[in-house]
Amino acid sequence: MEAILSNSYYFWGGLALLLLLLEAVTFTSVALVFSIAASVVFLSVLFAGVPESMEGQGLLFAASGLALYFPIRRFQKNTAIGHTTGDVETSIADAPGGIIKSIEPGGRSGRARLDGPFLGAREWIFESEHPVQAGDHVNIEDVRGNIIKISVGTGE
């Protein structure tokens, strides 16, 4: 143990690898951020030899971890898919339009490709009260399980 602490770059390199493995198992951005922070301290100690004290290294670890955490979390929140669960009526009100991709015989069911994600998916199986054709613009009227009820829209 004393050999590890006397060569603190072993400690920080091992911590970086351990946190990276934890990230691979848990898929949380926190472990990744602090793995990168431990790598910063590892490289700093290995190549520059600073900071020499464990307190300084801990401070560098904390500062670099916090400096990385907030921008990465903001990026994740800005790029996350919209609604995946919740109030279906509110989701339908905000639902994107779409285009009929394919139809089944009879023209009242098939697959529709939406302009944006709706409840986590862009492509849905649909049912319609009236016959539709491939290429028609549609709006979502209701959701029943994994099937959307549509009406022909204006393409807006």
Please give the Cα distance from 152 to 141 (Å, whole number). Answer: 10
Q: What does the DSSP 8-state code read for residue 106?
A: T
Residue ranges of the domains in the chain?
A: 2-79, 88-152
Residue 94 reports pLDDT greater than 90: no
The amino acid at 137: H
List, in sequence order, every residue forming a beta bridge with 111; answer none if it has no partner: 102, 125
pTM given for the model: 0.50
Residue 19 has pLDDT above 70, yes or no: yes
Instruction: Quickly count: other Cβ atoms within 10 Å of residue 150's Cβ.
Output: 27
Pick the CATH number of 88-152 from 2.130.10.10, 3.40.50.800, 2.40.50.140, 2.40.37.10: 2.40.50.140
Distance CA 133, CA 8 (A): 68
Q: Is 148 exposed, middle or buried (0-12, 13-18, 19+ CB in 10 A)?
A: buried
Determine which of 2-6, 54-58, 61-65, 128-132 has the lowest per-residue pLDDT on average.
2-6
Q: Which of 17-21, 22-26, 34-38, 49-53 has the lowest mean pLDDT?
A: 49-53
Res. 83: pLDDT tops 50: no
